Amino acid sequence: MVTAELGGFADAFAGAGGGTPDYAKIREVADALVPFGNHAGVAITEVGPDRAVAEVAGADHQLNHLGTVHAGALFLAADIAGASAFVGAIAPRLSDVEFLVLRDARCSFRKPATGRIRAIATVDEREIRRVLGDPAATRFDLDGKALCYNDDEVLVAKFTFEYVGNLKESGRVGE
């Protein structure tokens, strides 16, 4: 399933957003939305209003020649977690989302990544509050980050993201 087949970004999450978001449904949809993420073995384990978490199991097909989790698998988990953090944060206006695209990304690899890796992502709360509170908000820029930890809670990689997105004009949340 890809958003183009569904008629658009918001259509993929139909019924999950709004005044009382269904974060379990949002996680389920987001986890199935990126075919390459599923193929590579990235799983979204948490989506909420404040953060999202995606995991890489550290399976043999996700490793590099040194036996550590491949940088591409780390990036994919961080990217999917970052987009899911946006979806969770914007859930009250999820039906207004036309698109979100990644404009720029930066990464810093801190330690060898071994075993299961969790990418914990957040987006800029101030910008989300502005967008949620302004019914005329349409195009927006948004910063995000994802921190990747191993099972010993050691930071193995850090990613920063710059997104651009667009919303349909809508009424103020709660009105």
- Reading the chain (175 residues) residue by residue, the pLDDT tens digits are 445 455 567 788 888 888 899 999 999 999 998 889 999 999 999 999 999 999 999 999 999 999 999 999 999 999 999 999 999 999 998 888 988 999 999 999 999 999 999 999 999 999 999 988 888 878 999 999 999 999 999 999 999 999 999 998 765 444 4
Residue 36 exposed, middle or buried by CB count within 10 Å (0-12, 13-18, 19+): exposed
Distance CA 137, CA 172 (A): 10
Question: Domain holding 24: CATH number?
Answer: 3.10.129.10
State how far the alpha carbon of 7 is from the alpha carbons of 14, 54, 75, 90, 92, in Å.
Answer: 11, 25, 27, 19, 20
Q: Look at residue 172 and tell me if it is in a domain.
A: no
Decide if 173 is inside a domain: no
Specify if 174 maps to a domain. Answer: no
User: In the chain, where do the E strands start and end?
Assistant: 42-47, 52-56, 97-109, 117-123, 139-149, 155-167
pTM (predicted TM-score): 0.90
